[in-house]
Amino acid sequence: MKRRARQAAWCLLAAAVSTPAPAALAATGVWKAPAEESLVGRTETYVARYEDTLLDVARRFGMGISEMQLANPEVDLWLPGEGTEIRLPSRFILPAAPRSGLVINVPEMRIYYYPKGESVVHTWPISIGRVGWETPLGKTSIVRKAVRPTWIPPDSIREEYLERGETLPRVVRPGPDNPLGSHALYLGLPAYLIHGTNRPHSIGMRVSHGCVRMYPEHIVELFEMAESGTPVTLVHQGVKAGWAGDELFIEVHPNIDVPDEAARPSVTDAVASIIAATPEGGEDGPAATVDWKRVREALATANGIPVAVGSRQTPRSSGRDDPAG
């Protein structure tokens, strides 16, 4: 309950935070993505200015607020302090999914776009559905696109507003009060969209009614690239595993807003991801030498930063831990 209350407070306070000028906003994260590699991007450091909040820094560098907080647990959300070093978690393991169209990894709160015929990937942070309004999983596609969309809220959402003493119109026209923002991509899943937002500082939180929100500048970029018919795959991968050369990495994301004991993925999740990333393995396990101590440390930390945990298989080292140790 405390965690939900804290997140609700962020949403209310976000409106009071100044929005950076468009010139200050970072460009899309776009990286080369050759078929044999799974790790893209790089982790960098930003030195805070006096006027910065962590929310401002997140948007300036194309990050969501939760991933920024996971990477910087000791940094104050509202007053990082001039001279504070802030880690920018802009290195990612690509999700284990077809590299075609859009791939949305729900627990990571990040969307990946693979342009047809190109060995690159674009990636942006997103917001997802809160507890009780979970973003669905599965395969679908973009069925239509709209500029300045009109929102027709379902009765369930209008009833929720009434319960807290607010009246929501049956039709919300385009404009600053429209939560869909300036652009929307409608999915084959009824009532679910990828859209902009009139609350940009909510990006990287579990705050929607199941839709996928993007920063206003990011939805415009995606809208211009992704055509109707583009495939969309929604997955839940709290642990991702992949290769950079001969090094094996994992990346762990907690399940935000669930009880602490269930928030972090398990060793079983990590083993499954590592095996999936090493299909050349056999019945004896993955074709890699894995340091299971590092795996458990990454699971305990769950900060979304890729961590090296192994290498290509050589004669198996007897000094390595086993996953059950």
Sign of the alpha-carbon torsion through 5, 206, 66, 180: negative
- Quote the radius of gyration of the chain (alpha carbons, Å): 20
Q: Which helix (H) or strand (E) holds 220?
A: helix 216-225
**Catalytic residue among 122, 209, 211, 253, which?**
211
Helix (H) or strand (E) holding 301: helix 292-301
Neighbour count for residue 241 (Cβ, 10 Å) = 30
Smallest Cα–Cα separation from 88: which of 27, 52, 43, 57? 43
Contacts for 74-83: CB closer than 8 Å, 24+ residues apart: 77/10, 77/53, 78/53, 78/54, 79/53, 80/48, 80/52, 80/53, 80/54, 81/48, 82/48, 82/49, 82/50, 82/52, 83/47, 83/48
Instruction: Decide: helix, strand or coil at residue 11.
Output: helix
Q: Are 177 and 97 in contact (CB under 8 A)?
A: no
- Residue 211 annotated among the catalytic residues of the structure: yes
Of 195, 209, 218, 253, which is the active-site residue? 195
- Annotated active-site positions, please? 195, 211
